[in-house]
Amino acid sequence: MRAVVYDSPFKVSVENVPDPEMQHPNDAIVKITSSCICGSDLHMYEGRTAAEPGIIFGHENMGIIQEVGSAVKTRKVGDRVVMPFNVACGFCKNCQRGFTGFCTTVNPGFAGGAYGYVAMGPWRGGQAEYLQVPFADFNCLPLPPGDQYEADFAMLADIFPTGYHGAELADVRPGESVAVFGAGPVGLMAAYSCVIRGAAEVYSIDHVQERLDKAEEIGAIPINFDEGDPVRQIKDRRGGEGTDKGIDAVGYQAAAQGSSAAGGEQEEIPNVVLNQMIDVINPTGAMGIPGLYVPTDPGGVDEDAKRGALSINFGKLFEKGLRLGTGQCNVKRYNAYLRDLIIAGKAKPSFAVSHQVSLEEAPDAYDKFDKRVEGYTKVILNP
């Protein structure tokens, strides 16, 4: 089959690789219809992780079941399904408590597994024609047959639940104000989830204009951080007050104010968003941090950053009595509910999708998405 393979920093290629095989009676083989490129893939693509050449990318996968093992009871050949990016067993201590992003079965010695991701276990990615899905009863979320809502349902593998998780970690409630840092796909979904949860005012902070425009489309207030300190901009609009809540949908590769929005080297300040959140959130507030932080970053700006040690204003955080939550999204906790919002016509997460291209066009799509040019916001590959 054809698959997107990581070669070296800033280089992926589409290659012939062996088809996946059934390895266990609990497995299913899914013929992929949609697989998205994620901001998380860019960390590997840019050589900012320990990812080795040869890894098949793709953790946002959806398709039609092609084959099931004899132990699979609730899913059958021909079912249309979307898989959480987390590979999970459903029965370990963490899965049982709903923390499927921290499964201890699927990636021995570690809590958490994913398709096509460095350090997340042996699972191959789905930016390919076929995907092996273990524990298929647990990991395949059934969808209505046909091809309706394809782009909306594709968002259920990761970014819609992950954005929602950001709002959940920040405990966003009706009538509240929220500062959402980052208007990439995850930030847009976080802002959208805040709107769905009834937030009164949602600020969306980024410096890529097309992304800020999308945020405005869904009712958020765009804040361009290249035009000045975003905390100041928000407080100025709120009569000196900050916000009730904050969400970091940026992560450790946060760009400095005024840095280039379009490609090339960006001046990076890995702790800038964390400290801006501590600054902007009102006392007793909370922050959700779905943005990725890593324990090892070969390209880190200094020795501390290379081992994931960031300096944050913990004293201020204590003084304000702020709460924070972080980590991989437990997709399985939300995906069925978010699917039903889509079916009921109450959510349309495909608004974030900017491009749908064939698998063969993946190298070009990676390049443009990475440079954040030509409106590349969220890309779906259709093998």
Ligand X SMILES: NC(=O)c1ccc[n+]([C@@H]2O[C@H](COP(=O)([O-])OP(=O)(O)OC[C@H]3O[C@@H](n4cnc5c(N)ncnc54)[C@H](O)[C@@H]3O)[C@@H](O)[C@H]2O)c1
In sequence order, which residues have a C-beta less than 8 Å from that of residue 40 and are 6 or more positions away?
59, 117, 158, 292
Shortest Cβ distance from residue 117 to Zn ion (Å)? 9
> What span, in angstroms and rounded, lies between the C-alpha atoms of 92 and 332?
14
What is the CB neighbour count within 10 angstroms for residue 6? Answer: 23
Per DSSP, 134 falls in state S
Among ligand X, Zn ion, none, the one that 124 touches (CB under a kind-dependent 5 to 8 A) is none
Shortest Cβ distance from residue 181 to ligand X (Å)? 4
Nearer to ligand X, 135 or 376 (CB): 376
Among ligand X, Zn ion, none, the one that 177 touches (CB under a kind-dependent 5 to 8 A) is none
Side chain identity, residue 158: D
> What span, in angstroms and rounded, lies between the C-alpha atoms of 245 and 67?
45
Binding site for ligand X (CB under 6 A): 38-40, 42-43, 158, 162, 181-187, 205-208, 211, 225, 249-251, 254-255, 272-273, 290-292, 328-329
Shortest Cβ distance from residue 38 to Zn ion (Å)? 3
Nearer to ligand X, 59 or 75 (CB): 59
Shortest Cβ distance from residue 307 to ligand X (Å)? 18
Among ligand X, Zn ion, none, the one that 95 touches (CB under a kind-dependent 5 to 8 A) is Zn ion
What is the CB neighbour count within 10 angstroms for residue 21? Answer: 10
Helix (H, G, I), strand (E, B) or coil at 13: strand
Nearer to Zn ion, 23 or 311 (CB): 23
User: What kind and span of H or E run contains 103?
Assistant: none
Shortest Cβ distance from residue 183 to ligand X (Å)? 6
Q: How many alpha carbons lie under 13 Å from residue 285 in its C-beta half-sphere? A: 24
Nearer to ligand X, 20 or 246 (CB): 246
Q: In this chain, which residue has its C-beta nearest to Zn ion?
A: 38
Shortest Cβ distance from residue 230 to Zn ion (Å)? 25
Please give the torsion angle defined by the CA atoms of residues 12, 59, 352 and 368, in that order, rounded to the nearest 10 degrees: -10
Nearer to ligand X, 43 or 333 (CB): 43
State how far the alpha carbon of 355 is from the alpha carbons of 30, 63, 151, in Å.
23, 18, 10
Among Zn ion, ligand X, none, the one that 206 touches (CB under a kind-dependent 5 to 8 A) is ligand X
Nearer to ligand X, 128 or 247 (CB): 247
Shortest Cβ distance from residue 211 to ligand X (Å)? 5
Among ligand X, Zn ion, none, the one that 92 touches (CB under a kind-dependent 5 to 8 A) is Zn ion
Nearer to ligand X, 170 or 254 (CB): 254
Binding site for Zn ion (CB under 5 A): 38, 40, 60, 88-89, 92, 95, 103, 105, 158
Among ligand X, Zn ion, none, the one that 324 touches (CB under a kind-dependent 5 to 8 A) is none
Exposed, middle or buried by CB within 10 Å (0-12, 13-18, 19+), for 363? Answer: middle
Among Zn ion, ligand X, none, the one that 105 touches (CB under a kind-dependent 5 to 8 A) is Zn ion
Nearest to 343 by CA among 80, 88, 108: 80
Nearer to ligand X, 69 or 375 (CB): 375
Nearer to ligand X, 68 or 202 (CB): 202
Nearest to 27 by CA among 72, 74, 76: 72
Which tokens go with 1? 């089959």
Nearest to 36 by CA among 264, 378, 294: 378
> What span, in angstroms and rounded, lies between the C-alpha atoms of 257 and 266?
10
Among ligand X, Zn ion, none, the one that 356 touches (CB under a kind-dependent 5 to 8 A) is none
What is the CB neighbour count within 10 angstroms for residue 165? Answer: 27
Among Zn ion, ligand X, none, the one that 202 touches (CB under a kind-dependent 5 to 8 A) is none
Nearest to 246 by CA among 188, 318, 190, 320: 190
Shortest Cβ distance from residue 283 to ligand X (Å)? 23
Shortest Cβ distance from residue 78 to ligand X (Å)? 29
